[in-house]
Protein backbone atom coordinates (compact mmCIF):
# COMPACT_ATOMS: atom_id res chain seq x y z
CA UNK A 1 0.00 0.00 0.00
CA UNK A 2 1.75 3.23 -1.11
CA UNK A 3 2.17 6.04 1.34
CA UNK A 4 0.81 9.42 0.28
CA UNK A 5 2.77 11.32 2.92
CA UNK A 6 6.53 11.31 3.30
CA UNK A 7 8.43 12.70 6.27
CA UNK A 8 9.43 16.32 5.69
CA UNK A 9 13.11 15.49 6.22
CA UNK A 10 12.99 12.83 3.50
CA UNK A 11 11.20 15.15 1.06
CA UNK A 12 13.93 17.77 1.55
CA UNK A 13 16.63 15.17 0.89
CA UNK A 14 14.87 14.03 -2.29
CA UNK A 15 14.36 17.58 -3.57
CA UNK A 16 18.02 18.48 -2.99
CA UNK A 17 19.24 15.37 -4.86
CA UNK A 18 21.38 16.09 -7.88
CA UNK A 19 22.88 12.66 -8.46
CA UNK A 20 22.85 10.68 -11.68
CA UNK A 21 20.35 8.21 -13.03
CA UNK A 22 21.60 5.18 -14.95
CA UNK A 23 19.72 2.84 -17.24
CA UNK A 24 21.02 -0.70 -16.75
CA UNK A 25 20.34 -3.46 -19.24
CA UNK A 26 21.88 -6.61 -20.66
CA UNK A 27 23.30 -6.49 -24.15
CA UNK A 28 20.51 -6.95 -26.69
CA UNK A 29 17.76 -6.49 -24.07
CA UNK A 30 17.59 -2.72 -23.76
CA UNK A 31 13.81 -2.69 -23.28
CA UNK A 32 14.04 -4.99 -20.23
CA UNK A 33 16.41 -2.67 -18.33
CA UNK A 34 15.86 -0.77 -15.13
CA UNK A 35 16.63 2.73 -13.95
CA UNK A 36 18.91 3.11 -10.97
CA UNK A 37 20.26 6.09 -9.14
CA UNK A 38 23.91 6.67 -8.38
CA UNK A 39 25.14 8.82 -5.51
CA UNK A 40 28.87 9.26 -5.19
CA UNK A 41 30.04 7.54 -1.97
CA UNK A 42 32.09 10.62 -0.97
CA UNK A 43 29.09 12.94 -1.24
CA UNK A 44 28.39 14.38 2.24
CA UNK A 45 24.64 13.88 1.77
CA UNK A 46 25.04 10.09 1.61
CA UNK A 47 25.29 10.04 5.40
CA UNK A 48 21.73 11.39 5.63
CA UNK A 49 20.23 8.42 3.80
CA UNK A 50 22.77 5.66 4.53
CA UNK A 51 20.94 4.44 7.66
CA UNK A 52 17.68 4.16 5.69
CA UNK A 53 19.44 2.31 2.87
CA UNK A 54 21.16 -0.06 5.33
CA UNK A 55 17.82 -0.85 7.00
CA UNK A 56 16.20 -1.61 3.62
CA UNK A 57 19.10 -3.88 2.65
CA UNK A 58 18.73 -5.75 5.96
CA UNK A 59 14.99 -6.20 5.34
CA UNK A 60 15.58 -7.47 1.80
CA UNK A 61 18.23 -9.96 2.97
CA UNK A 62 16.01 -11.28 5.79
CA UNK A 63 12.81 -11.63 3.76
CA UNK A 64 11.66 -15.21 3.35
CA UNK A 65 9.81 -15.89 0.11
CA UNK A 66 8.00 -18.94 -1.16
CA UNK A 67 9.34 -20.55 -4.34
CA UNK A 68 5.86 -21.63 -5.47
CA UNK A 69 3.74 -18.48 -5.00
CA UNK A 70 3.93 -14.80 -4.01
CA UNK A 71 3.90 -15.27 -0.24
CA UNK A 72 6.58 -13.66 1.92
CA UNK A 73 7.51 -13.00 5.54
CA UNK A 74 9.90 -10.51 7.08
CA UNK A 75 10.43 -8.80 10.40
CA UNK A 76 12.68 -6.09 11.70
CA UNK A 77 13.48 -4.46 15.01
CA UNK A 78 13.55 -0.78 15.87
CA UNK A 79 17.03 0.58 16.58
CA UNK A 80 15.75 3.20 19.02
CA UNK A 81 13.51 0.70 20.87
CA UNK A 82 15.18 -2.66 21.53
CA UNK A 83 12.68 -5.45 22.11
CA UNK A 84 10.10 -4.04 19.69
CA UNK A 85 9.64 -5.66 16.29
CA UNK A 86 7.33 -5.30 13.33
CA UNK A 87 6.61 -8.19 10.98
CA UNK A 88 4.84 -8.48 7.65
CA UNK A 89 3.34 -11.76 6.49
CA UNK A 90 1.58 -12.16 3.15
CA UNK A 91 0.13 -15.55 2.40
CA UNK A 92 2.44 -17.34 4.83
CA UNK A 93 -0.14 -18.27 7.46
CA UNK A 94 -3.31 -17.62 5.45
CA UNK A 95 -3.55 -17.52 1.67
CA UNK A 96 -4.03 -14.02 0.17
CA UNK A 97 -4.04 -12.32 3.59
CA UNK A 98 -1.56 -9.65 4.66
CA UNK A 99 -0.80 -9.72 8.38
CA UNK A 100 1.07 -6.88 10.05
CA UNK A 101 2.16 -7.68 13.58
CA UNK A 102 3.75 -5.41 16.18
CA UNK A 103 5.49 -7.22 19.05
CA UNK A 104 6.66 -5.50 22.24
CA UNK A 105 9.04 -7.70 24.25
CA UNK A 106 10.30 -4.95 26.56
CA UNK A 107 8.30 -6.45 29.45
CA UNK A 108 9.84 -9.91 28.93
CA UNK A 109 8.55 -12.85 26.92
CA UNK A 110 5.61 -13.63 29.22
CA UNK A 111 4.63 -9.96 29.45
CA UNK A 112 4.86 -9.33 25.73
CA UNK A 113 2.25 -7.44 23.75
CA UNK A 114 1.20 -8.34 20.24
CA UNK A 115 -0.99 -6.21 18.01
CA UNK A 116 -2.09 -7.82 14.75
CA UNK A 117 -3.80 -6.33 11.73
CA UNK A 118 -5.19 -8.35 8.83
CA UNK A 119 -5.80 -6.93 5.37
DSSP 46: H
SS3 79: coil
118 CB-near residues (< 8 Å, 6+ apart): 94, 97, 98, 99
What is the per-residue pLDDT for 76? 83
In this prediction, residue 31 carries a pLDDT of 67
Q: Which pLDDT tens digit goes with each residue over 81-109? A: 888 889 999 988 888 899 999 988 887 76
Q: Which residue has the higher pLDDT, 35 or 118?
A: 118
Question: Residue ranges of the domains in the chain?
Answer: 1-49, 63-119
Give the pLDDT of residue 99. 92
Each residue of 5-61: pLDDT tens digit?
666 776 666 666 555 666 677 776 656 677 666 666 777 767 777 777 787 788 778
Amino acid sequence: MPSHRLPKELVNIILKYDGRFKYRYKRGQWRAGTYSTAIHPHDARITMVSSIIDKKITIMKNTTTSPVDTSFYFEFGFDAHPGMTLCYDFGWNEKNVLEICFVNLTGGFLGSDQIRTYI
